[in-house]
Amino acid sequence: MEEEITQPRSTLETEVMQQIQAKGINLVRFLYCDNGGVIRGKAAGGQRVQDRFKGGIGLTVAMQAMNSLDQLQVVDGMGGVGEVRLMPDLKTFRVLPYAPASASVLCNMTVLSGNNWEACPRSFLAKQIERAELEAGLSIEAAFEPEWSLAHRNGDGTYTALDETVCFSSIGMTITAELINDIVKALEDQGLIVELYHPELGHGQHELSIRHAGAMQAADNHIIYRETVRNVAWKHGLIASFAPKPFLDQAGNGCHVHLSAWSSGNSGTRRNLFYDAQDQYSLSQLAYYFINGILEHLPALVALSCPSVNSYRRLRPKSWSTAYTCYGFDNREATVRIASPLKGTESSSINLEIRASDNSNNPYLALGGIIAAGLDGIKQAKHPSKGKLVTIDPATLSQAERLERGITRLPASLDAALDELEADEVLHQALGGPLLKSYLAVKRSEANTYAAENELFELKHHFYKY
Ligand code: GLU
Ligand code: MG
């Protein structure tokens, strides 16, 4: 019999095992986000988890062909035969403040030999981060800015918003003070840094943003965030909906993505390469190239960043969710908003905000797609055309004016966005065959299923899924 080779424990693994023992952890959730944007996982028993840290947990290959309604799609190589492994990244280990004796860890999907599986969304983001470093010497920082709605579930399966308070309402803050406090504490206990909070425009709607971090950590943080907000609200007897448009007559829930690109090096010498003090908007040429890349690929990109059927009820003109391929300084109707820098920290705070993004996306796919589009912009080295810079709401321009300025309407449905994604060579190249194929199959099937059902079915199935 062959002897097992015992690998020495890494320092990180030793620390994690100490936490598991000290906190009496019985279950460790191995989590991932799938092609449908749903966070799923399996848990390992606390006493047996160390082997699982090395060998992972088995997962049928079919899960990347499963849509968010649990309808399995036919995708080559993703049927009833074959396994991948959920392989944890121990840096993401967290003791869960909202579940007894439980912890979670975020995972890559690997093939049995240990290499990353080509259909793994988290590995896709890792690849784009690596490309940004190798091809352009950039270290991407990102922050997700999520909005969500608090509601009660009614007996008939519909939902009622928690309150009818107004935008930035201090009454809204008071009504939810205990819950928000528990959410902030739970997020900070897991190492996330809360940046800003306010009650938003919609009934029961809130926005609570997290400090920017390296791109992978930002996406990981967003998974931890969605889990935390949903679970803490649940403990308060409430549903936190991350659906893009949970109530048809209320503001939608966005999840804008903020980006900056930094030189590598240690924290003392790193520079935000999107900054140029000489420019009218404090942006560097590199940032303009990046914007151009985003604008060029936007119609296809939204298939990754706004990827649910419900997303397209939010992504409409005059909703501050943005609906056109244009950019502007502090323009909340432009899909790429140049966010005004803060006095005193101009060079570090200037950033781009991609507003066509919501919480029904898989953050690894959305952010990876955004980086791939921006890198293409840098490669093409073109400034966005003058006409695409808008200082007004682009919906107030006539169709002829928009046409002349090269401003187009974003896809108006998931199907239309998927058509664009199918036609986008740059995003194909970045995603690779297996991920693209499975993603398209899953998303097309969602579009088809909802097309055959009514509005109520759509709202119900998006309300409490993300
Ligand atoms: N709720 C808006 C959206 O759907 C965003 C409002 C804002 O914070 O500017 O993106
Ligand atoms: Mg907001």
Tens digit of pLDDT for each residue in 405-424?
A: 999 999 999 999 999 999 99
What residues contact 456, with CB distance under 8 A and at least 6 apart? 158
Confidence band for 8, pLDDT divided at 50, 70 and 90: low
Check residue 264 and give its pLDDT.
Answer: 81
Q: What is the C-alpha separation between 368 and 420, in angstroms, rounded?
A: 17
Decide whether any atom of ligand 1 lies within 6 Å of the 198 Cβ: no
Cα dihedral across residues 289, 218, 444, 242: positive or negative: negative
Alpha-carbon distance 132 to 261, whole Å? 9
Banded pLDDT at 4 (limits 50, 70, 90): low
pLDDT at 1: 44
Q: Could you say which ligand is closest to the alpha carbon of residue 207?
A: 2
147 lines ligand 1 (CB under 6 A): yes
CB atoms closer than 10 angstroms to residue 22: 9
Answer yes or no: are the C-beta atoms of 153 and 239 closer than 8 Å.
yes
The three-point CA angle 229-234-240 to 5° equals 50
**What is the end-to-end Cα distance of the chain in Å, rounded?**
47
Q: What is the pLDDT of residues 396-406, one digit of tens each?
A: 999 999 999 99
What one-character-per-residue DSSP string does 387-443 give?
Answer: GGB-SS-GGGS-HHHHHHHT--BPPSSHHHHHHHHHT-HHHHHHH-HHHHHHHHHHH
Provide mean pLDDT across the span 141-166. 96
Yes or no: say if 402 and 420 are a contact pair by the CB < 8 Å rule.
Answer: no
| Residues contacting residue 84 through CB under 8 Å, at least 6 positions apart | 58, 59, 61, 109, 110, 111, 112, 117, 120
Cα separation, 174 vs 90, in Å, equals 38
Question: What integer pLDDT is reported at residue 267 of this predicted model?
Answer: 73
**What is the DSSP annotation of 68-94?**
TTSPBP--TT-SSS-EEEEEEEEEEEE
Contacts of 35 (CB under 8 A, 6+ apart): 64, 65, 66, 67, 121, 362, 365, 438, 439, 442, 443
Give the per-residue pLDDT at 2. 45
Mean pLDDT for the chain? Answer: 96
With a 6 A CB cut-off, is 314 part of the ligand 1 pocket?
yes
- Nearest CA owner, ligand 1 atom 6: 320
Best probe residue, ligand 1, of 355, 360, 361 (max atoms within 8 Å of C-beta) = 355
pLDDT tens profile 81-140: 999 999 999 999 999 999 999 999 999 999 999 999 999 999 999 999 999 999 999 999
Chain segment 308-333, per-residue pLDDT in tens:
999 999 999 999 999 999 999 999 99
Q: Which residues line ion ligand 2, judged by CB < 5 Å? A: 207
How far away, in angstroms, is 167 Cα from ligand 2 center?
10
The response to whether residue 254 sits with its C-beta less than 6 Å from ligand 1 reads yes
Q: What is the dihedral of CA 307, 313, 317, 318, to 10 degrees?
A: -120
Measure CA 439 to chain center. Answer: 15
Q: Is 325 in the pocket of ligand 1 (CB under 6 A)?
A: no
